[in-house]
Amino acid sequence: MITNEHMRRLLDTATPISGGEGLPGPLQEIAEAAWGRGASGVLSPGGPPPAWTEAEAGAGPEELMRTELEVNDFKIDDEDLVPDPDSYLRRTVSRGLLFASACLRRAADLPEAGRLRAVVITGVDDDFLTHGTTVKFFLHRGGLPSRYQDVERYILEGIAVLGPDDLPSLEPAR
């Protein structure tokens, strides 16, 4: 897993992903649905990517990853977490990791499953309740998208880039 300093601090206090309250209904539905595939190879959790992806997706790996990151950009529902700002960041990161891991596990049967990546992004500046957490997905195609090659440059967000091989390290110790 690739993380920046902000995310490493958040991960130290995050609830293990198999515990906690679970996912809100709409996120659970996406996580349980089969992954979809567009004609250009763009993958999307929760079903086929929208038709516009075919017009937007370029032929190169960077363009395909950019299109996937645009279409696979999920805001983590956090309204129920806002009333408790002391635990908000810990719980919203946990929820983002739970969603990312559920989607990656659901993709296990895809031939490209080992190359799927999730990006969990949480705002950590003074307006963290405004920014919340988002999770994005892309298929690793020979390198990381340019925006995630140096995650330490992000000073207002905690960022984690993870793949299926990282999931066991996120589970609680037994």
- Specify the length of the chain in residues: 174
Q: Is the pLDDT of residue 165 over 60?
A: yes
Highest mean pLDDT among 40-54, 55-69, 141-155: 141-155
> Comparing C-alpha atoms, which of 20, 27, 1 is closest to residue 120?
1
- More confident: 41 or 139: 139
* CA 171 to chain centroid: 16
Q: Which residues are 44's β-sheet partners?
A: 36
12-39 pLDDT, tens digit each = 887 665 545 679 999 999 999 999 998 8
Question: Given this model, what pLDDT does residue 126 score?
Answer: 78
71-98 pLDDT, tens digit each = 999 999 988 888 887 888 888 999 999 9
Question: Given this model, what pLDDT does residue 114 score?
Answer: 95
Which residues are CB-contacts of 49 (< 8 A; sequence separation ≥ 6)?
36, 37, 38, 42, 43, 68, 71, 72
**At 56, is the pLDDT very low, low, confident or very high (cuts 50, 70, 90)?**
low
121-162 pLDDT, tens digit each = 999 987 776 788 999 999 999 888 989 999 999 999 999 999
Are 81 and 87 in contact, with CB atoms under 8 Å apart? Answer: yes
Q: Is the pLDDT of residue 173 over 60?
A: no
